[in-house]
A and B are shown apart, each in its own frame.
Chain A
Amino acid sequence: MYLETRRTFLKGAAFTVAGAAMAKGVFTTDAIAESISESKFTDTPDSLSFYPPMEEWADYKELSGEDWKRGGISRHGVRSEDNPDGILVHDYVVVPTACSNCEASCGLTAFIDKKTFTVKKYMGNPLHPASRGRNCAKGYATQSQMYDPDRLAFPIKRAPGSKRGEGKWIRTTWDEAMTTIGKKMGDTLRKGDELSKKSVMFHVGRPNENGFTGKVWHTLGSDCFNSHTNICSSGGRTPTIQWSNDDRTSPDWANAKLLFLNSSHAADAGHYFQQSASFIADARQKGAKLVVMDPRMSNSAGMADLWIAAWPGTEPAVYLYLVNRILNEDKVDKKFVKKWLNWEVFMDNKKYMEYIHGKNYIDNMPKDNSFESFLEVLQDLYKPYTLEYTVKETHVPAYKLEQLYDMFIWAGDAISSYFWRATAAGNRGGWMSGRTGYLPIALRGAIGTEGGTFFHHWHVISVAGKGGSSTVGQGKRGSNIPKVDVWNELSWPPEWPLSTYEMSFLLPHLLTDTDWQEKWIKRGLNVPQKLAVWIPRMYNPVWINPDGFRWLEVLKDESKMELTFNLSPTWSETNWHVDYVLPVGLAGERHDQHSEATMPARWTSFRQPVMRVALEKAGWKPKNPNRATLEAHIKAGLGEVWEENEFWFDMCVNYIDPKGDIFLDDAKTKTIHSMWESKRHPGKPVTIEEWYDAAFGDNLPNLKSTATSDARYKNAEFPVYEYMRDHGAWMEENNIYSAQEREIKETADHFISHGHKYDKKHVHIDKRTGVMTAESHGKKKSMGIEIDGKKYEGFATLDKKLDFFSEWFADDWKWPEYAIPFYPRTDEEKKEMVHIVSHVNHSYMTEENSYALNTVFRLPYNIHTRSANSKHLMEISQNHDPIWISTGDAKRQGFERGDAIRVKIVDSVSGLDSGYFVAMAVPTEGVLPGTLACSHHGGRWKLKNSVTIPNGVSDGKVSGAPMERNMMDPEFMKQAPNNVGKDGGQITIADYDGTSGMNSYGVPVAEMVTDGKVGTLKYTQGIQPFHADRFKDYNKDSDNIWWDGLSGSWQNAVAPVHPDPISGMHCWHQKVILEAAQPGDKIGDIYVDYENNFNTYKAWRDELTRPLNADDKLRRPQHIKRPWVPLSDKAYAVEIKDV
């Protein structure tokens, strides 16, 4: 056919440009190497195994992939003295660590080139049981972050005489910073009064460790540990607390038949992304069905078997529709439900039954309190959630709901789900999605099963703070540290007694709201009105939190925050406004014990400073064992970069309480100093090896037994530490299913439950419920449950079962109407039950062109604020943050792809306008009509393109690289920096001329104007190509930047705070009104009325919460988690004056 229609190609001879000039010219001529027979290498590997066996990690040789491109070894042979033109062979030491770019803690291995003492690549760790040698793009980006030319090379402080945010900095030493900060902390804490224990605040973004820093604050005797959790996941945790008194869901993705993803999650870019996505892929390979419920067609929704685009916040209606059909079609797993739901407590609470009858939740009172009557009550209760009702409320077509039900039933008891992200974190009352969502899963018996859904605490290892036996003062697992006896209203305000975590995003509001402070002071609470020290860590609240201008106001106010410093490896919007920035390490530059519930097992990773470990394993010794990581990083050329573990050990012993005169107890026997003083080397801080050998060894018996019986470690000084150092990961226990059915051990006199011994004489067994209650020190504690003659450990709830009915929530904590899974059935109920109706429900979309904006989803390849230091991640994630608008809505408003549009935020509680941001419209069929999507992770900014730090060059300082970096050179291996961190020990930073960029790959320059009420931000210069001197081998293509970074908007600054009245979650979604852009508008512009935002904060607080009052005697229920530091009864007790 082609021959018949062919053209003449003779015209090719008449091209104006000769072929040779047009061809790329990719061939070179070369001769074949003579001798390759001796090499172990081949041109093509025999197998595609990514990783060498662990035995080769100390000395692993690999052909350079870069050099191999010259033609492979069959042409050149392997490089050697005899064959200098051969292909380069890398001589590596491989050191395991763990990624720190999201919360999942996937394993990493650093391939450290011995000849240059640099990391040539980060790969996965094949020994990590959950990540299984795999990583996502963020993991591999660790290398580019390590060698980011703009990374902070030494501690800096605000220039004397300058104001916060002016951008004037000087270089300082670790010692000076620690002396100044330590004195301020010590002077504050030494007072020992209530306010001083509320005034030195730590504020963590991504913790990525399991309890270390919490333990530091515990040993400071302070209730001052703040976290980012309530802008993240408290709406996901509240339902789990109510159902099982646990923290969060833990699904068994890999063995599920139905993978029911709620919001952008797991397989997308959400929680535990890579590990979850891999397990989900495994399950799908085995035939599992994937359902994604999300108003936006996420990547996972796009490949799901079923996409359910429910209107944001109406997901409970979907779950209750399933419940209604399961009950009516007799699909209940009665055996499981009877055994493990707290139906007896519910049926026995007559007062509550009458209450819900009175509110018309049920038409009929139950005839008795039997299990059969319980099922009848459920049928009565959930019968209004019909197909017709659900379609109307959720906007999901009927056929999809029916398909969902069929899949749900088909999957039996192998249904895995997770209640987190947009549904939980975006909507007021979003916690009710999890509260209702667990119910159909429980009714099908899919809790704790293989392929089912379970709970976090059984699948996690938290021992980072439990190395106390290595110290003089803490005792084994910290048993000698006194409980903290104050309650901090700045993090746990009395309006939100049930908040899952701290109300951290309200910190600037609470610090400036003197009316609020005085109101509660009059009622008898000792509310702090300022902070002596504020310490963010891996946290950028100015940018990521709502109402960013309010944060800026407070950060700049030295009367509210007297001293501030950030422990941060990079620049950020927040760092620009603090007093000190102290560079601590990234994933391969710090110690952390880090475990997450990503599979039905208990595993932990061990994050490590890989350069230090490589040196030490090769025999290197630091001059100062308490600053070994700092010394190693100087040797590696990273600068005066330290880590937090050693920093806090040193701070507590030598700077906060150097004399040991800050006491933690009235008897004056316990000091901050003693808490972190080494038992092995009295007077010195504990070391990393001592601490982690105890933390792992005292708490993980299987690990200890393995390490101490392994010939490689059993004679080592710190066998457990060394085992973890070499492997980087450990699985303590696998296949953990239905752990509530673990039977209580019994001796003649004792019951043993959860490792605790209870004298039988003090244990009472309730005849009706089977709950086993132990009495101790005048308190009652549920410790197990007897069912059909067997004694089980049960769940962590008061009644040891899954709490369909949360009795304490109803009877003691003021929220009876929401103490069972519920969702308003009528418009009238919606108005009345406003606490569980999303603030972006369609009933609030009354104005023309108003929409529900879904803001809660991660951008692929990005990690909140922590990606801008990686060229790799920035390059692959550009232009990913437009406004997704349905094609019909866009057409109606006349918006086309790429148009700039104004997105005006309006609050449905206060009715106030917050201002607007200008974004790019992208019409798509991938979003539910009436809703929009725009991730709140766009719009990073900086006020200057570069920063010059005087005294940043040598000035007689010590050479950072006194000799060539080469691990094979004995002189290099012998050398350790002198006086590290001290005045005489400052080093010259290689290839640094005193001026540095700030996140040059990912953050454009903006101009900001604020007047205390209104703030604006406008970008003035996009990201541009630049020349990098520092780490130039790793940044050769910094001149190849094709993106300008101007596609996103700092919408978080426009967003007012929306504190959920129950969970305390900041409800991220926004009611917005779309308008065409005005002349002069550019994508990225924002205009914020943050005085209005302050009033919106007050409206949510005053109109929606049910604060503590004179009848309350406790700040919060004592049986539910109060994170980070254990509090005494004195701290929990409260007296509110009735004024």
Chain B
Amino acid sequence: MQNTQARSNIYALLSRILMQELDLELYNTIRNDKNILEFFPNFDKWDLLTEMDDNTILTEHLNPDFVNLTLLHLIPYETFYTREDQKIETGGANPVTDIYSEYDFVVDFEAARVVSADHIGVEYEFMHHLCELELEAMKANDQAAVNDIRFTQKTFLNKHLVAWAPQFLINMKYESRTPLYYDAAEMALEFILTDNEYVSKGSVEL
């Protein structure tokens, strides 16, 4: 259960970082949590953190970097990477919507501020919700449900996230101009590869 909790938290953290620019609250959460900071070694040592106030770091460095990485220069949508014509499928034919629908999940685009349900942040958040469901099933000692949810996780990772996100995250890592997003890209990449192995084998210790 501890593994699942860890996975849920990490998926949540990464989904939030990849979906929208940071706000002060999340920024402070990251800065004040030594366990999180261990995943962000370069950010932790960043000179600017001691030289500038938080607001300036956010508005003049981190947020512009986020905009560059996810709006201006890179395209964080699955269909961009998987369709031959590199168009984003914004309609109901998007391949992830079926699997979301199985759980009666609908993406609130207003809240997400994305154009399509296959945004990387949304897909990470979907994994977070699956982990939360798994936790609930575990608490209810419903092993069959746990197995079902694990199967969905494995399917989703293999058919979707792992199939394209590494390409985006490698690009993101090399395009990033701040250590936070550099570290986030590296962490997100390593994590889904590890997690894929974990859910596939069902025995890897985190």
The interface of chain A, by Cβ under 8 A from chain B, is 2-3, 5-20, 22-32, 42-45, 69-75
Closest residue of A by beta carbon distance from B105 = A27
Asked if A16 and B112 make an inter-chain contact with CB atoms under 8 angstroms apart, the answer reads no
Chain B residues near A45 (CB-CB < 8 A): 91
**Interface pick from B43-51, B70-78, B138-146, B188-196:** B188-196
Asked if B189 and A14 make an inter-chain contact with CB atoms under 8 angstroms apart, the answer reads no
Chain A residues near B109 (CB-CB < 8 A): 69
Asked if A23 and B6 make an inter-chain contact with CB atoms under 8 angstroms apart, the answer reads no
Asked if B38 and A10 make an inter-chain contact with CB atoms under 8 angstroms apart, the answer reads no
Given contacts A16-B33, A44-B91, contact A29 B104 (CB under 8 A): yes
Asked if A43 and B6 make an inter-chain contact with CB atoms under 8 angstroms apart, the answer reads no
Given contacts A43-B93, A44-B92, A72-B92, contact A11 B125 (CB under 8 A): no
Q: With A12-B6, A17-B33 given, can you name 5 additional A-B contacts, CB distance below 8 Å?
A: A2-B194, A15-B35, A19-B128, A23-B16, A69-B109
Nearest CB of chain A from residue B159's CB, rounded to whole Å:
18
Chain A residues near B193 (CB-CB < 8 A): 2-3, 6
Set B20, B126, B206: member contacting A27, Cβ < 8 A: B126
Nearest CB of chain A from residue B197's CB, rounded to whole Å:
7
Chain A residues near B175 (CB-CB < 8 A): none
Nearest CB of chain B from residue A71's CB, rounded to whole Å:
4
Chain A residues near B52 (CB-CB < 8 A): none
Nearest CB of chain A from residue B7's CB, rounded to whole Å:
7
Asked if A29 and B106 make an inter-chain contact with CB atoms under 8 angstroms apart, the answer reads yes
Nearest CB of chain A from residue B78's CB, rounded to whole Å:
15
Asked if A69 and B190 make an inter-chain contact with CB atoms under 8 angstroms apart, the answer reads no
Closest residue of A by beta carbon distance from B18 = A24
Bound-state CA distance A28–B109 (Å) is 10
Closest residue of A by beta carbon distance from B206 = A10
Asked if A29 and B105 make an inter-chain contact with CB atoms under 8 angstroms apart, the answer reads yes
Chain B residues near A69 (CB-CB < 8 A): 108-110
Chain A residues near B16 (CB-CB < 8 A): 22-24
Nearest CB of chain A from residue B118's CB, rounded to whole Å:
12
Interface residue? B101 (CB, 8 A):
yes
Asked if A9 and B35 make an inter-chain contact with CB atoms under 8 angstroms apart, the answer reads no
Asked if B3 and A10 make an inter-chain contact with CB atoms under 8 angstroms apart, the answer reads yes
Asked if B11 and A19 make an inter-chain contact with CB atoms under 8 angstroms apart, the answer reads yes
Closest residue of A by beta carbon distance from B101 = A32
Nearest CB of chain A from residue B202's CB, rounded to whole Å:
16
Interface string of B25-51 (1 = CB under 8 A from A): 010010011011011000000000000
Interface residue? B69 (CB, 8 A):
no
Nearest CB of chain A from residue B31's CB, rounded to whole Å:
11
Bound-state CA distance A20–B122 (Å) is 14
Interface residue? B153 (CB, 8 A):
no
Asked if A9 and B10 make an inter-chain contact with CB atoms under 8 angstroms apart, the answer reads yes
Given contacts A22-B13, A74-B92, contact A11 B38 (CB under 8 A): yes
Given contacts A23-B12, A43-B92, contact A6 B194 (CB under 8 A): yes
Bound-state CA distance A493–B190 (Å) is 76
Interface string of B79-115 (1 = CB under 8 A from A): 0000000000111110000001101111111111010
Nearest CB of chain A from residue B90's CB, rounded to whole Å:
8
Interface secondary structure of B, over-half rule: helix
List 16 A–B pairs whose Cβ atoms lie within 8 Å, in order of A's numbering: A6-B194, A9-B194, A9-B195, A14-B35, A18-B9, A19-B8, A19-B12, A23-B11, A24-B121, A26-B125, A27-B100, A29-B105, A29-B106, A44-B90, A44-B91, A44-B92
Asked if B129 and A27 make an inter-chain contact with CB atoms under 8 angstroms apart, the answer reads yes
Chain A residues near B90 (CB-CB < 8 A): 44
Chain B residues near A11 (CB-CB < 8 A): 6, 35, 38-39
Chain B residues near A3 (CB-CB < 8 A): 193-194, 197
Closest residue of A by beta carbon distance from B15 = A23
Closest residue of A by beta carbon distance from B12 = A19
Bound-state CA distance A14–B34 (Å) is 10
Interface residue? B203 (CB, 8 A):
no
Interface secondary structure of A, over-half rule: loop
Bound-state CA distance A42–B90 (Å) is 12
Closest residue of B by beta carbon distance from A14 = B35
Set B11, B35, B190: member contacting A2, Cβ < 8 A: B190
The interface of chain B, by Cβ under 8 A from chain A, is 2-3, 5-13, 15-16, 19-20, 26, 29, 32-33, 35-36, 38-39, 89-93, 100-101, 103-112, 114, 121-122, 125-126, 128-129, 131-132, 189-191, 193-195, 197, 205-206
Set A9, A23, A73: member contacting B128, Cβ < 8 A: A23
Asked if A25 and B33 make an inter-chain contact with CB atoms under 8 angstroms apart, the answer reads no
Nearest CB of chain A from residue B85's CB, rounded to whole Å:
11
Set B29, B38, B93, B128: member contacting A16, Cβ < 8 A: B29
Among A31, A44, A45, find the residue whose CB has the most chain B CB atoms closer than 10 A. Answer: A44
Among A19, A24, A28, A72, find the residue whose CB has the most chain B CB atoms closer than 10 A. Answer: A19
Bound-state CA distance A237–B125 (Å) is 61
Among A3, A8, A27, find the residue whose CB has the most chain B CB atoms closer than 10 A. Answer: A27
Chain A residues near B100 (CB-CB < 8 A): 27
Nearest CB of chain A from residue B34's CB, rounded to whole Å:
9
Asked if B89 and A44 make an inter-chain contact with CB atoms under 8 angstroms apart, the answer reads yes
Asked if B112 and A26 make an inter-chain contact with CB atoms under 8 angstroms apart, the answer reads yes
Chain A residues near B189 (CB-CB < 8 A): 2
Closest residue of A by beta carbon distance from B92 = A43
Among B9, B32, B35, B111, find the residue whose CB has the most chain A CB atoms closer than 10 A. Answer: B9
Closest residue of B by beta carbon distance from A18 = B9
Among A8, A25, A31, find the residue whose CB has the most chain B CB atoms closer than 10 A. Answer: A25
Asked if A27 and B107 make an inter-chain contact with CB atoms under 8 angstroms apart, the answer reads yes
Chain B residues near A44 (CB-CB < 8 A): 89-93
Given contacts A43-B91, A44-B93, contact A15 B125 (CB under 8 A): no
Closest 5 interchain pairs by CB? A44-B91, A43-B92, A19-B12, A12-B6, A13-B6
Closest residue of A by beta carbon distance from B13 = A22
Asked if B106 and A6 make an inter-chain contact with CB atoms under 8 angstroms apart, the answer reads no
Nearest CB of chain B from residue A959's CB, rounded to whole Å:
35
Closest residue of B by beta carbon distance from A5 = B190
Chain A residues near B10 (CB-CB < 8 A): 9, 12, 19
Asked if B104 and A31 make an inter-chain contact with CB atoms under 8 angstroms apart, the answer reads yes
Bound-state CA distance A3–B103 (Å) is 31
Given contacts A6-B193, A72-B91, A74-B92, contact A26 B122 (CB under 8 A): yes
Asked if A24 and B9 make an inter-chain contact with CB atoms under 8 angstroms apart, the answer reads no
Asked if B13 and A15 make an inter-chain contact with CB atoms under 8 angstroms apart, the answer reads yes
Chain B residues near A25 (CB-CB < 8 A): 111, 125
Chain B residues near A23 (CB-CB < 8 A): 11-12, 15-16, 125, 128
Chain A residues near B190 (CB-CB < 8 A): 2, 5-7
Chain A residues near B129 (CB-CB < 8 A): 27
Nearest CB of chain B from residue A50's CB, rounded to whole Å:
15
Nearest CB of chain A from residue B205's CB, rounded to whole Å:
8
Closest residue of B by beta carbon distance from A23 = B12
Bound-state CA distance A27–B108 (Å) is 6
Among A23, A26, A71, find the residue whose CB has the most chain B CB atoms closer than 10 A. Answer: A26
Asked if B19 and A16 make an inter-chain contact with CB atoms under 8 angstroms apart, the answer reads no
Asked if A20 and B7 make an inter-chain contact with CB atoms under 8 angstroms apart, the answer reads no
Asked if A8 and B206 make an inter-chain contact with CB atoms under 8 angstroms apart, the answer reads yes
Nearest CB of chain A from residue B98's CB, rounded to whole Å:
11
Nearest CB of chain A from residue B162's CB, rounded to whole Å:
11
Bound-state CA distance A72–B117 (Å) is 12
Bound-state CA distance A469–B44 (Å) is 80
Set A12, A24, A30: member contacting B106, Cβ < 8 A: A30
Bound-state CA distance A5–B191 (Å) is 11
Chain B residues near A5 (CB-CB < 8 A): 190
Closest residue of B by beta carbon distance from A74 = B92
Asked if B106 and A71 make an inter-chain contact with CB atoms under 8 angstroms apart, the answer reads yes
Given contacts A27-B107, A43-B92, A44-B89, contact A13 B125 (CB under 8 A): no
Chain B residues near A19 (CB-CB < 8 A): 5, 8-13, 128, 131-132
Bound-state CA distance A600–B104 (Å) is 57
Nearest CB of chain A from residue B173's CB, rounded to whole Å:
12
Bound-state CA distance A836–B191 (Å) is 68
Closest residue of B by beta carbon distance from A26 = B112
Chain A residues near B39 (CB-CB < 8 A): 7, 11
Bound-state CA distance A821–B196 (Å) is 74
Chain A residues near B131 (CB-CB < 8 A): 19
